[in-house]
Structure 1
Amino acid sequence: MKLTYSVIYFALIFTLVGCTVFAKRSSRPSRGAVAWVETSLIIPILGNLIIVLSDIGILTLIGHYLYFLGVNSVLLALVNFTNVHCTGIGNGTQKPTVMYILLFVDTVQLLLNPIFEHAFVLETVTDNGNTSFIITAGFGRIFHRIIDYVIMISVILIFALASVRTPRIYRDRFTVLLFSMTAIALMQTYYIFSESNYDRPVIAYGFFGLVLFYFAIIYRPLRLLDQMLSSIVSDLSDAFYVFDASGRCVWANEQGCKLVGYSGTNYEEVNAELIGMFGSPSESEGRISRVAVGTEENIRFFSLEEKQVKGPNGKYNGSYLRIRDVTVEEHALQDRDKRIGLISLEAYKDALTGVGNIASYNNKVAEINQQLENGPVEFAVVMVDMNDLKQINDQCGHKEGDIYIKGCCQMICDAFNHSPVFRIGGDEFVVILRGQDYTARHQNVKALRAAFEDSFEQTEKDPWFRYSASVGLSESSSADKTFEPVFKRADQAMYNEKKMFKFLHGSYRS
């Protein structure tokens, strides 16, 4: 019997050492927590191995200490693993500090046992000339078992909650560990009441370590889904990503991996690359947006389609992200906008300034409204209203007023040289921002305001060369179903700025 247990313990120890090394080399985010559990499981198994093989009292005592302290080490590592493995399943954010404190207190009282002998005492028993050792339990060992059971049951309950809350397709990575821990707890309870000489549950600890290693490091619950999705999207040029309910990437096609420069199979690391390139994911149920990536010389444009997936009961199960490179389309769109908004067709060109007129503007609004029918569209509106044009016309003449209009228009075009500019009234201009100008909208609006302020303060110049205008900016949101609400917000922002201008400078120039 001793030989059989010894062989099993040796095999489990070497296997757990291998699992520890492999886990450390893994790219999984939970690799550190898994390696800690695997290493901790070696300690109680080693303690039992010493107990089985030893005929010397002091070695047997050391084996018992390794076992009891090793169990605490296992539970400490298991609490840490649970905190890492189940992150994002519930709404809790607190660390398991209470569990850490309980284990620390129990460990201290076990370490004090050589002094007070309050936990257990090793006794020698002779039967027919054969010497063996047994331990007599004290209140410290009872306290030790109570702490262990409290923590083990808490961990089991957390995994039970995770098994219920996680989507079905991802559930087995929790349920298998849940059943394994429950089985170990039951075996441990049976061992306590059966008073077996050899701690058979320790063997179960070893097999639990193998199960945990497999499901936390190697196992991927979406292998069938991998094959299905690969077959469906393999011919697509778009990058495609699938996320679970906690926001972790669980699958990406070949184009998706290439886009973020990733060549592994642990898709969880893709999240950080995507956020670095395109920002944090949307919290809305669905969104279509365009994002500019790179420097101005090597800028690329991408269309992002994000969609949440919910079950029949309305429970959020995950999401997918489809990314398409639209650089060529965006450049064509910008060229078209410039042609229509600036110098193309005479019917759509403002005669004085050369920018788009009201007809061109209405066409652009209709185009955006049509896009909005298919979902949210990312754009911004800049409303510009020249200050004191009427006074310049009345006091200086309409020729000077035209000079003033063209000068203000040129400053607007310089600020937004990648977007169409429209003159929709005598002193009113609208700029519709997409792509690169949308990304830099706040910087460009700030620069335009500063340029108008600097020009206005040049009092040595004639009034019609001191360009000034009030500027308002508004971005689209997921709640906007048409262009009109965005325009109204920009118009209101411009109006508020104009009131401040009149309060500071009045309606007449010096």
Structure 2
Amino acid sequence: MKRRSKAISVFNITYAVVLVAYLIYACFLGTDIEDKISINTNNWSDGWITESGSPVSSKRIKAYVGDEIVITKKLPVNIKRDDSLCFMSHNANLVVTIGGETVYRLDSRENLTGYGYADMKHDISLKEDDSGKEVEIYLSSSFKKKGTGYIEKIYLGNSSDYTHYLTKSKMFPSVLSSMIVFFGILMVCVYLVLPKNTDYPYNIFAFGLSVILMGYWCLVSTGYLQLITGNVIGYRVINYLMLQFAAYPVICFGTSFLVKKNKIYQQIGFVVWFLIILLLAILRFVFGVDMHNLMNILYASYVSTFAYLILIFIIDIKYCNANNIKKDRKMFSIGSCCVIGGALTDIILYLGNGDFLPRNGTFIRLGLICFIFTMLTQFLYWWTDERKTMQINDFINKILKYAVSSDDPEDNINKMLEFIGQELKVDRTYIFEETGEGDFVNTYEWHAEGCESKTEVFDKIPIKSHVIRIFEDVDRQGRAGILRVEDCKEDNPQLYELLKSVGINNTIAGALNINGEYKGVCGVDNVSYEDNMEDVSKIINVLSYFFGQLILQRDNNRKLIGYGYNDLMTDVGNRRAFERFEDEELDKDGTYGYVMCDINGLKAVNDNQGHEAGDALIKGVCHSLVDTFGKMNVFRMGGDEFVVVSHVKSEGELEAKVNLAKKFIEMEKRSASIGYVFCENGSIPYEEVKVEADKRMYQEKQLYYSGRNERRKRD
């Protein structure tokens, strides 16, 4: 095992040395940096003719090996002092004459890849006395054996306009490529600052290096760097070999996802990579083969790298299946599919167009960005979990004994809140639960000695529109949010005054995520020291899970008891449940809305269409009420009658909800009579509320039936 580890180190060092040497040569030694030249937007590609007088293609003028194309065209008679003749060339030798005088020459010289140089921009300054003179361009391929050279995008005018045109056309793929490089550098930096003995979710350094190399290749392949630097030959070298250098770190990155680690996989990857580089070097420098003619070998090396990774993943999956081991490769699989899909899309577009247009390669870049984000997401999940584990294990171990101290989950919740409050030395701990109407109710609270309870205060203020703003940083995945009250003094003065009035300076809240649904928040008020806030946030983040489980246990216990309190047909509370709600839960001195609903025409439906249709009518009306007021607030009193108690803050809010319920009922071609009463702070005795709501419901029902009778008389 030690020998293998030492061999891997040697391989890594060798790879790094070769990569650095290659980059130094490509960027600093193999260069033909030209002056920064420009391009205009006045198309001058049409009207060119050959020596025989034949017109040539205005899109692209090609010359094959051994051929020399001469094209001519007369300059306009109004040449200005700042005009230039601008065009792009690709692997072509050039001579440009104006009025028989040679003004520009380009003879491609041999470089690391051969005689090609890919795309190059040209800017030939014109003088006013060049007006009307004949321009001749002598064009031949720069390759010695096989390959095509061409010129395109011929323009006449201001050179800076031409530069703007070219850079704009390359901007989108260049930005995507730069993003890829940035994220690669970011991951390498993360690796360098993290402890080396950390058990990472994957090989972060190999991932970052792979992304940098592939992103840099993507950036070079756009031609943007060549355009702004003039370093055509250096980037030609990078364009041909950068992906090949990315193969080894890609293999190192891929093997880090294996369950059964085997260093032989990485060793084989290095050997294959080194042999391919050696083969290319021999063919290029011993046999003199132009790299342009070795593309099939390069393509085969890319395919073999992916095939090799697929093979070792298949082996590892079989190993996991045989040993009943579960390995989550979801993010890796999604990202890989994005890359493969992007590559295939670009290949199809390339084959369809026949040319590598600027837009070619866009989808592989998008695929790489998707892959990077999936890997970053996986890393962030790991990082968050690691930090939580390190910082809150002790606290969790202490709190667990309270979570299971008794069979009563509500008693356990209260004990946990008390323990948290005392340990963290805060003024108050609390739980808000969603009512089913989009609002929140303060269901549990502990407060320190000398501090007042806030439960009654929060029951009398608009929780949904104000206090819920406290929890804006709490998402549905359970991230704890910190609110410093002074921070909202200018942005939300109403919230600021509200919290200050009840003595809250800061609050930290975590989401109660129960079975994937956002059901409320738990948190603490007035953490003593600013430095403690982040730590408390992490603690609340984890404890919110335990609170969620205890609430789920509480609800399950209630559900078991509640089978005798549920209406079997509609799955809402029955009359017995409503009576218990009146006695134990309803604050008759508080603010609420009382609604009575009676279905119209149920008997006629039962008589004429059958009881199944009548049952469907009852369920439909009930469904409309539940959608409006929430399941826990709707009760079926029997037959065609329902009661709803809504936790609203104003009569206007209650009226709006009633109208919405009526709208839902009418949309389903049904009818119901509804009477409602709004009671603020117990201003109306509860029995009078019930009588008045019942009275208003029957008044509406009388209007309904009198209206039907009138219609029958008219009919």
Q: TM-score interval w.r.t. the shorter chain?
A: 0.3 to 0.5
TM-score between the two structures when normalised by the length of structure 2 = 0.24
TM-score between the two structures when normalised by the length of structure 1 = 0.32
Q: Which has the higher contact order (CA 8 A, sep 6+)?
A: 1
Larger radius of gyration: 2
